Structure 1
């Protein structure tokens, strides 16, 4: 058993988050840390390598059991610190593992390499070839190769999460900017109805506005609300193409949020385009129902643009590999 102050922390790390709103990734990380701790406790705790592994586990436990913050969620500090230290502890355990227990690490290291390293990666290819001739068992002679391969796979796994977080943050900023634009447009339309009129005039039927037959301060807000509602319905239908993820970032939710302000803005812009005769074949709308109907159409039409963002989001999600997503990675 390991001794000293570094191992005096709570041996049941799940207790560290009792009473806290811990995310599922934190619970998975803490459970993995507990498993690594039990393996480390069965090894020689006096070697410098074992003491270093213990420090990494303590740092990972501290990061995973810490209180979630908005700044941490944005920067991914807790996620990166947790898994970077877990990965370093895994590498240290592989170095420390007795020769008689080493063979069973072969499949685990190879699976990690197949998840995160391309087929043409020389480390993965060489390890795979060696294990094929050794009935899948790792030998002491291949320990260094396994360590190098595991380190490379772990770095690739961390980079996958970084790319996912970066894309998520970009979407959040875009959603916030689009929401601010929608609010500004709504406020301008409310305060100065004459500055952004969404009314039409048909010589046969007379003027028509979103609300009644005269410009109103509620015209623009109502049109935005209709566009937002239509966008939410289209977004709900599109959820059938969205897959969940075990990654510590709620990318599918952020993808759905982007559609709402986009629908509100596109409804107003679409009616302005009709008013300016930029859409061939559309004449003046002659009643409020038609105006509201076209606002709904343009609100739903935001899917044409956000669909491309959805596809990119799914590509980013598919690049984040874990044991539940299969072991083969096609990229080189």
Structure 2
């Protein structure tokens, strides 16, 4: 019956990875459905799988629709998540309609083990010898729900990072503009009592406040934050989720490093670390800007840990399973 397979929607060349993955797996489900023998008791599940595949095709088309809709779709993740959930439903109904499900059981167990821990009763029932077909379907549904919920959580975190980045960008820009139009209003220069010189020492090297002092400090604060971004990229594993967070985490770090560079300079000028920090030159002053920028790592490390835990739910760690399966 394989010659009767309908291929569904054809993915064009200019698409993202998630569309290619969804389209490929939808083809597989169609081929498996076409290969099933006609069993009257399984017709309801077969029809439900076909309806879910139609939803997949529809969302793949809509995801490459009008450009003015792409922004809202990107923010809400509507097309991505609906396509994935519909694909998962099609795979579940395929399992419910398959009379030879037990032959596929090793692979299904591996997929379920990616998202359900060993203490979960649904996984335990599925791991038992000769599980009932309803037990397998229920375990698959729970595993796919966990995967879909993790992706929705990743999207929510990504949107929060975007909002935080926009707020920090506006704040840094406002501070820079204040520094240009009102030099000295945001004091970045060190008084003689804080330096090894007899005169005022400013980040731009002058002896009086300049309109570029704030920008200079922000630049070197961003440089310090960039160092922590490199470390983040080195230790981060590749993401299999359509929502990649590492770029937004890096943006937050850099913008926050710029802001903390300014805050650190204010602390130096106010003498809050008097007796501990002694600035002897412009180079030393800018070096402290780098250090203050890198100091954002103390706070954003909590964000990194949370993002790591979330992405580990999206693409589980290898040591959580004993066999290799196909991840979402």
Q: TM-score normalized by structure 1?
A: 0.85
* Partner Cα distance (1:254, 1:104) in 2: 43
Q: Say if 1:207 and 1:286, in contact at 8 Å, map to a contact too.
A: no
Local SS of the residue matching 1:207: coil
Deviations 1:257-305 (A, max 9, x none): 1111011101110000111111242456353222212111111222222
The yes-or-no answer on 1:181 pairing with 2:181 is no
Residue 143 in structure 1 maps to residue 144 in structure 2 = no
Measured in 2, the distance between the counterparts of 1:323 and 1:35 equals 26
- Show the counterpart of 2:326: none
Tell me if the contact between 1:45 and 1:51 (Cα under 8 Å) persists in the aligned partners: no
Runs of 4+ in 1 over 6 A off after TM superposition: none
Aligned residues: 311
Name the CA distance, whole Å, in 2 between partners of 1:317 and 1:206. Answer: 52
Mapped partners of 1:223, 1:206: distance in 2: 19
**CA offset at residue 113 of structure 1?**
2.2
Question: Unaligned regions of 5+ residues in structure 2, if any?
Answer: 324-328
Confirm or deny that 1:285 pairs with 2:286: no
**Residue equivalent to 1:102:** 101
- Verify the 8 A CA contact 1:54 1:89 in the aligned structure 2: yes
Q: Normalising to structure 2: TM-score of the pair?
A: 0.86
Counterpart in the other structure of 1:154: 144
Task: Judge conservation of contact 2:168–2:256 (CA < 8 Å) in 1.
Answer: yes
Q: 2:306 aligns with which of 293, 304, 312?
A: 312
1:255 equivalenced with 2:249 (yes/no): yes
Superposition map of 1:42-191 within 5 A: 42-43=35-36, 44=38, 47-65=43-61, 66-67=63-64, 69-98=70-99, 101-131=100-130, 142-191=132-181
Deviation at 1:12, TM superposition (A): 5.7
Does the 8 Å contact 1:175/1:258 carry over to 2? yes
Distance change >3 Å, CA 194–CA 322, structure 1 → 2: closer
1:244-267 per-position Cα deviation (integer Å, ceiling 9, x unaligned): 111111112221111110111011
| Whole-angstrom CA distance in 2 between matches of 1:187 and 1:291 | 21
RMSD: 2.6
1:41 paired with 2:40, answer no
For residues 161 and 258 of structure 2, what CA distance do their matches in structure 1 show? 17
Give deviations 1:210-232, integer Å, cap 9, x for gaps. 12111111110111111112211
- CA shift, 1:34, in A, is 0.5
**Runs (5+) with no aligned partner, structure 1:** 132-137
Structure 1: distance between partners of 2:291 and 2:274: 16
Pick aligned residue for 1:218 from 212, 217, 224: 212
**1:328 Cα deviation (Å)?**
6.2
Task: Provide the rounded CA distance (Å) in 2 between the counterparts of 1:117 and 1:208.
Answer: 60
C-alpha change, 1:172 and 1:208, in structure 2 (3 Å) is same
Measure how far apart 1:194 and its partner are. 2.6
